[in-house]
Amino acid sequence: MTSSPTRTQVGIVGAGPAGLLLSHLLHLRGISSVVLERRSRAYVEQRVRAGVLEQGTVDTLVAAGVGERLRREGLPHHGIELRYDGRGRRIAFEELVPGRAITVYGQQEVVKDLIAARLEAGGDIRFGVEDVALHDLEGEPYLTFDGGRLDCDVIAGCDGFHGVSRPSVPEGVLTLHEREYPFAWLGVLARVAPSSEELIYSRTERGFALHSMRTPEISRFYLQVPPDATPEEWPDERVWAELRARLETVPGFTLATGEILEKSVTPMRGFVAEPMQYGRLFLAGDAAHIVPPTGAKGLNLAVADVRVLAEALDRFFATGSADLLDGYSRACLGRVWRAQHFSWWMTTLLHTFDSDDAYGRRLQVSHLDYVTSSRAAATTLAENYVGLS
């Protein structure tokens, strides 16, 4: 038996950071929404993803009233280290982009904060919803799902790269830009205090490695691995041996080890769907674009998208004007392509592409020397990393 149709102003598909933050920003503007999520609440709250928040993302969450725990538990960073050729060079944000920084705070923690805020405010988040489908996107849109129907004025597709929203757009409407990289990242979460106060991006002949963290007691690491690698191929002993080989490349640095809590493999790709809208459907976050994680832009782009979309929807419902909604895609894509370029640049600068390409390796080292010795080049990296205005 299906339930009676319900109605809301904005139907949101996906309870990741994009969908939840959009719902909360709309609530603050007096706009109703319903969030439909295929996974359980426990799953989305424990799903380990990115953990580097740009200055603008932090400011948005704080201004929206969901930044109390972020301010208390997040780890502000004022620089990163580029490690290569037996040297470590720091990119000092406090000198290059004064007043701006990044904060390390896990995406799952952002999700927990947003779910708590929405439920406290009486928000309608429906977990475990199966068979979601989008209908009549150019007319009077509505969503159907196992057990119900949701009529709405607008649909926000925030359900990720593999979600149902983008495929609901008729074939030929969207232009899909893609780039596949010839490697993946093995992500490792470990119960061990970080061995560095700041993130370390390490380029070696063996491949790339990243030393990151989640809390003062939990560290996060990434290793460049073949694109078809599986976590089972990487027992704990092999993980630690390879991390030591790629990170203990400067005098005096010793990598602390501990219990490995989780391993996963992330493919490296760039993807953009243009435009990010069709009729009354608006795509946000990974549903519209994917970046390789080297530049730490994925979550931050999602936040930037829904900031723009929330403002456009506010204008639409308050005045009836669709001018900002019509310009949503154009307003977002400038930042999206800038983040694509920065992520591509960081990826090509730090990863091993061909073991026989000595020429390419020398170009990488030369460019790293330039970035770490030129204030202008270092400023370009810093301002993109902490987030453009």
**Annotated catalytic sites, by residue?**
77, 201, 293, 297, 385
- Closest by CA to 331, choosing from 267, 288, 374, 370, is 288
DSSP, collapsed to helix, strand or coil, labels residue 46 as: helix
Say which residues have a Cβ less than 8 Å from residue 199's Cβ, sequence separation at least 6: 52, 77, 80, 81, 104, 210, 211, 212, 213
Burial 178-191 (b: 16+ CB within 10 A, else e): eeebebbbbbbbbe
Identity of residue 129: V
- CB neighbourhood size of 318 (10 A): 11
Say which residues have a Cβ less than 8 Å from residue 127's Cβ, sequence separation at least 6: 15, 37, 39, 40, 41, 44
Dmax (CA) for the chain in angstroms is 68
Cα 122 from Cα 133, distance rounded (Å) = 25
User: 180: which strand partners?
Assistant: 269
DSSP state of 48: -
Q: Residues for the chain: how many in total?
A: 389
Q: Where are the strands (E) in 44-115, listed by range? A: 52-53, 75-77, 79-84, 87-92, 102-104
Contact predicate 67/58, CB 8 Å:
yes
DSSP, collapsed to helix, strand or coil, labels residue 35 as: strand
